[in-house]
Structures are given as structure tokens and as C-alpha cells.
């Protein structure tokens, strides 16, 4: 009796994948069956017969955790219908992991699926099975949201997604306390983020943002995700950020789509200076007390190169809110309290991490 097993990247109940699946429910025809979110995964290698060998001993050298992105929706034929799935980009880390697992099994004499050969392998995440159409069709649907996923482990499974071995990836480099910084390509652009597990894995675009027009002529669009504000803290210049104030910043970001400069303009230049934006804020989201923003970095501004250099050396970067409004002194907090309803957001600028008004907002870009 053949003993089939498979190496996977488990993605059970991932909220981003569940959001995409929910989006598909309104798009796919009646009769479509849905992949159980508890079994979301990427198959790395399918072992059709382990030939009596112990597949759990096939482990590559210690590898760091990494990020992956999905570039769109696609499908392929199966006995159960058309498997509608997210097509995952083959970045170097993912390709290395899959290749090492494949050849580890191959040189141990195990029988492998033809589709697991590295040159033929197509990483994907199945979301649904659609009935076979009567006429040829082309599935063309944009993703409702950019998809960026963190890979922190892989597993060996058998049967109906029963894990029999678990392999964590490194979250810090050997001999270092700092978390691993990662870079992942998503939807034709680059997303720079810190790898600490507490940042948003997905930031929705503001309604009506035309990314194609914004990035026209930019062959490799680049974005940065950074915290913009945090509720219930006092900044270095003595201003208390209330929940109401942070919510107002988020509301105005959505309404105004602010730009960002490389540092603030001088007060005396406010009436005359109109600098070329270093970034265009295209999305925002809240995680707990923190408001996060996503900005596109145009290729004609030195800020883009600075972000690349900061990422390379593991340096930090911060944001700084620029606008006008009123504040009142709160002696119980020994700080000024910004009046949310009187604040007028003008732009959200980039600043060196050592000059961050709120220390927790200085992050690896």
C-alpha cells in the first residue's frame, strides 16, 4: 500500500485568505464548493509513495522566516471541477525551501508527483472548486486586497491535512536578538515591512485609488508601510494623542489622500514652498491603538533610495503628522491634548527614527 505524504506551508484560518474567499463567494457560480479555511495551505512537495522511508527526516538547513505575495487569481482542472486559487509568486526563499525538500525526498528514493519537480512546481492556495463550465472561460478578477503572507513554519502532513511533523523557521538570525527583516513582492510592487508579527499583514487601499495610473511608467513600484499615530500616548513635544484624535487622522487620510515630504517644511515657507512629494499615502488601517499607513514611493525622489538603504542596514524610519489645529492643556496628563474636530491634516511626512515624536512609531521600513 502506497504511503502518500506532503510537505506544506500551513495557512489555516488566515484572515487575508478568508477575505479573498469571501469576495469570491459573490463572483463564482452556484454549485461552487469552498475550501475549508482551516485547511488553507501551499503544497511544497507531494510524495506519492514514501517507499517505507521516514519523510520527517528530510529537513533543510535552518532557514529564516520570510514573506510571500500572491499576484492574482487563476484556476486549473481537477476531477472536482476548476480549482480556483491564489497564484503565489516564487520568490527566492520559497523556491529554495521547495527545491531542498524535493531533492531531499528524491535522493531518498521516494516517489514524487511530477508537479513537484522544481521547474514544474506552481505554488498556489486553493480557495474553491467551481463546476466545469460548458464553454471555455477565462477567469479574470482583480484581487480585492493586496495579499502578503508571513511564512513562519512548514509541515509534513498525510491524509486529510493531518500534520505529523512541524518545522519552525528562524525568527531571528543566529547570535542576534533583532528580528529578521523581510521584503516581499506583491502585485507588481515591493512591500517593505518589519518582521515582528505585530504589524498588519494587509492594508486596504483607499476607495478610488487608481494604482495603475499612480505607478504608470514605474516598472517596479515600491511601497512602505509605517505606523502613523498611536492612541493614548504623549509625544516628545508634549501632545497627548487621544483615541478620538487618532480616529480623526485616519478619517482625514481616507478623505484627503495626503502626500508625504522628506521632513517638514519650515514654518516661514508654508505660504510659498510646494515640494515634490516623497510619498503618496494610498491606504491605512488600525491594529489596536496604532494607525498604520501605506505609501507609494515615486522613483524620481531620493526618499525611495533612502528606504532601500535603510532596509539593507536594518535602520529605522518614522512618520510625522503635519497640520494645523488647536490644543488645550490637561494638567492631569501634564500634556497638551489635541482637539480632534479642529485639526486639519495637511500631510504625513517621513522622518529619521531618532526624531520620532512617539518612540514606538520608529520602525524598520
What are the sequence ranges of the domains in the chain?
5-168, 188-361
CA distance 327 to 289: 21
For residue 80, give the C-alpha cell.
472536482
Strands 239-241 and 335-338, sheet pairing = parallel
Q: Which three cell numbers stand for residue 283?
A: 491606504
Query: Could you tell me the sign of the dihedral formed by the alpha carbons of 213, 211, 185, 90, in that order?
Result: negative
Sign of CA dihedral 298, 301, 304, 305: positive
- Phi/psi class of residue 72: alpha, beta or left (left: φ > 0; alpha: ψ in -120 to 50)? left
Q: Sign of the CA dihedral 37, 38, 43, 49?
A: negative
Helices (H), 91-232: 92-106, 211-214
pTM exceeding the 0.85 threshold for the entire prediction: no
pLDDT at 363: 40
Determine the CATH number of domain 5-168: 3.90.1140.10
> For residue 72, what is the enclosing H or E element?
strand 66-78
Tell me, what's the pLDDT at 227? Answer: 87
CB–CB of 42/11 below 8 Å? yes
What pLDDT score does 359 carry? 40
Q: In the prediction, which pLDDT does 32 show?
A: 93
Closest C-alpha among 318, 274, 316 to residue 295: 318
**Contact criterion met (CB below 8 Å) for 339 and 249:** no
Backbone Cα Rg of the chain = 24
Question: What class is the 188-361 domain?
Answer: alpha beta
Question: Which residue, among 158, 154, 162, 150, has the nearest Cα to 198 in the 3D structure?
Answer: 150
Residue whose C-alpha cell reads 463564482 in the numeric block = 28
Whether the CB-CB separation of 118 and 95 falls below 8 Å is answered with yes
Q: Read off the DSSP letter of residue 359.
A: G
- What local confidence, expressed as pLDDT, does residue 190 receive? 36
Instruction: With residue 352 as reference, give the H or E element that holds it.
Output: strand 344-352
What is the model's pLDDT at position 5?
Answer: 94
Chain center to CA of 343: 31
What's residue 98's pLDDT? 95
User: Consecutive 10-residue runs of the chain (365 residues): their mean pLDDT?
Assistant: 84 89 88 95 95 89 81 83 89 91 95 94 95 66 71 91 90 61 34 43 86 90 86 76 92 93 77 86 90 91 82 72 80 78 88 52 40
So what's the pLDDT on residue 116?
Answer: 95
pLDDT for 107 equals: 94
Amino acid at each position: 500500500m502506497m504511503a502518500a505524504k506532503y510537505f506544506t506551508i500551513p495557512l489555516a484560518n488566515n484572515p487575508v485568505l478568508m477575505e479573498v474567499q469571501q469576495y469570491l463567494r459573490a463572483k463564482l457560480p452556484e454549485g461552487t464548493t469552498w475550501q475549508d479555511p482551516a485547511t488553507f495551505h501551499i503544497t511544497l512537495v507531494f510524495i506519492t509513495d514514501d517507499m517505507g522511508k521516514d519523510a520527517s527526516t528530510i529537513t533543510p538547513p535552518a532557514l529564516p522566516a520570510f514573506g510571500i505575495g500572491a499576484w492574482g487569481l487563476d484556476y486549473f482542472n481537477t476531477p472536482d471541477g476548476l480549482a480556483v486559487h491564489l497564484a503565489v509568486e516564487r520568490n527566492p526563499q520559497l523556491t529554495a525551501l521547495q527545491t531542498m525538500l524535493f531533492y531531499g525526498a528524491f535522493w531518498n528514493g521516494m516517489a514524487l508527483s511530477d508537479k513537484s519537480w522544481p521547474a514544474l512546481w506552481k505554488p498556489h492556495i486553493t480557495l474553491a472548486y467551481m463546476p466545469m463550465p460548458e464553454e471555455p472561460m477565462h477567469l479574470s478578477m482583480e484581487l480585492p486586497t493586496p495579499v502578503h503572507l508571513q511564512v513562519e513554519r512548514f509541515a509534513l502532513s498525510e491524509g486529510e491535512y493531518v500534520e505529523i511533523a512541524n518545522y519552525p523557521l528562524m525568527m531571528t538570525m543566529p547570535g542576534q536578538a533583532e528580528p529578521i527583516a523581510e521584503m516581499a513582492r506583491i502585485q507588481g510592487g515591493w512591500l517593505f515591512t518589519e518582521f515582528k508579527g505585530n504589524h498588519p499583514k494587509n492594508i486596504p487601499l483607499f476607495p478610488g485609488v487608481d494604482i495603475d495610473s499612480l505607478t504608470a511608467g514605474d516598472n517596479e513600484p515600491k511601497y512602505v508601510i509605517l505606523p502613523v499615530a498611536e492612541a493614548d500616548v504623549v509625544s516628545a513635544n508634549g501632545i497627548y494623542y487621544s483615541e478620538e484624535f487618532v480616529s480623526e487622522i485616519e478619517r482625514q487620510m481616507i478623505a484627503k489622500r495626503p502626500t508625504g515630504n522628506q521632513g517638514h517644511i519650515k514654518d516661514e515657507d508654508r505660504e510659498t514652498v510646494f515640494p515634490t512629494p516623497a510619498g503618496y499615502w494610498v491606504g491605512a488601517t488600525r491594529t489596536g491603538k496604532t494607525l498604520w499607513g501605506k505609501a507609494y514611493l515615486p522613483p524620481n525622489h531620493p526618499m525611495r533610495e533612502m528606504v532601500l538603504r535603510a532596509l539593507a542596514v536594518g535602520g529605522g524610519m518614522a512618520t510625522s503628522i503635519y497640520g494645523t489645529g488647536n490644543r488645550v492643556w490637561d494638567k492631569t496628563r501634564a500634556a497638551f491634548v489635541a482637539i480632534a474636530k479642529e485639526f486639519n491634516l495637511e500631510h504625513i511626512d517621513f522622518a529619521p527614527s531618532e526624531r520620532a515624536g512617539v518612540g514606538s512609531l520608529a520602525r524598520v521600513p
